[in-house]
């Protein structure tokens, strides 16, 4: 996938607005965007996403986040085209596991004012779709034990979880929309993820 991809414009009903989805790049604009968005997060959100409540992101961490080839390391953001001063609505990324090319570590951050509006579900559906196109079969992640909102959200995806070294390790298969449709009792968010993937697929496939 070309890291310099054109943006996708999409209507998100729960936000009642058009949003722009695009890959983040290691540009001055996106470095500023990521740094500003991080500083706007409350300490609890910084701990949950970055496992640190430092007041700002280091240049090294910004490099790690934004040096994405959009194949083994993918990072996309959701932006509000009507509010250019807003650094972002949310962002999500995955890193392919070098020891197992069929799985990748997934992470997501949603701005405080945009939570519970389907942003995380849409970003997950987007990366789920891209990952499948790059032969990734499952996502995994790590969740702090006191991050109850994330645990509830992942529970609605149907993850398998185990406690490892004081945090919760989660993993789930990246089913196709057709495989999700075939489930008799799918976890609550899977039908929404399947619907978003159907909408996104023709927009993404032309960019691979």
- Summarize pLDDT for 166-178 with one digit per residue, the tens: 789 999 999 999 9
In a domain, 178, yes or no: yes
In a domain, 37, yes or no: yes
- Summarize pLDDT for 60-87 with one digit per residue, the tens: 989 999 999 999 999 999 999 988 888 9
In a domain, 139, yes or no: yes
In a domain, 82, yes or no: yes
In a domain, 135, yes or no: yes
Domain enclosing residue 137, as ranges: 8-205
SS (H, E, C) the chain: CCCCCCCEEEEECCCCEEEEEEECCCCHHHHHHHHHHHHHCCHHHHHHHHCCCCCCCCHHHHHHHHCCCCCCEEEEEEECCCCCCCCCCEEEEEEEECCEEEEEEEEEEECHHHCCCCHHHHHHHHHHHHHHHCCCCEEEEEEECCCHHHHHHHHCCCCEEEEECCEEEEEEECCCHHHHHCCCCCCCCHHHHHHHHHHHHHHHHCCC
Confidence at 208, pLDDT banded by 50, 70, 90: low
Residue 66: the pLDDT is 95
What is the CATH classification number for the domain harbouring 160?
Answer: 3.40.630.30
In a domain, 2, yes or no: no
How many separate domains does the chain show?
A: 1
In a domain, 3, yes or no: no
pTM higher than 0.85, yes or no?
yes
Top pLDDT among 155 and 57 is at 155
In a domain, 160, yes or no: yes
Confidence at 3, pLDDT banded by 50, 70, 90: very low
């Amino acid at each position: 996938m070309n890291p310099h991809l054109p943006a996708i414009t999409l209507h998100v009903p729960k936000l009642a607005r058009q949003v722009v989805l695009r890959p983040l790049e290691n540009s001055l604009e996106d470095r500023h965007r990521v740094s500003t968005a991080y500083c706007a997060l409350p300490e609890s959100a910084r701990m949950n996403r970055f496992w640190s409540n430092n007041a700002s992101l280091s240049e090294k961490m910004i490099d790690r986040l934004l040096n994405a080839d959009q194949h083994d390391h993918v990072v996309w953001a959701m932006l509000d085209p009507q509010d250019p001063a807003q650094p972002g609505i949310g962002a999500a990324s995955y890193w392919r596991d070098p020891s197992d090319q069929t799985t990748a570590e997934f992470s997501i951050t949603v701005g405080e004012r945009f939570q519970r509006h389907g942003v995380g579900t849409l970003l997950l559906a987007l990366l789920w779709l891209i990952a499948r196109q790059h032969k990734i079969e499952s996502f995994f992640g790590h969740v702090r034990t006191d991050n109850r909102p994330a645990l509830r959200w992942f529970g609605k995806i149907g993850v398998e979880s185990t406690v490892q070294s004081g945090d919760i390790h989660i993993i789930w298969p990246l089913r196709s929309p057709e495989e999700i449709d075939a489930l008799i009792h799918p976890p609550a968010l899977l039908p929404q993820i399947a619907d978003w993937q159907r909408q996104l697929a023709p927009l993404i496939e032309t960019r691979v």
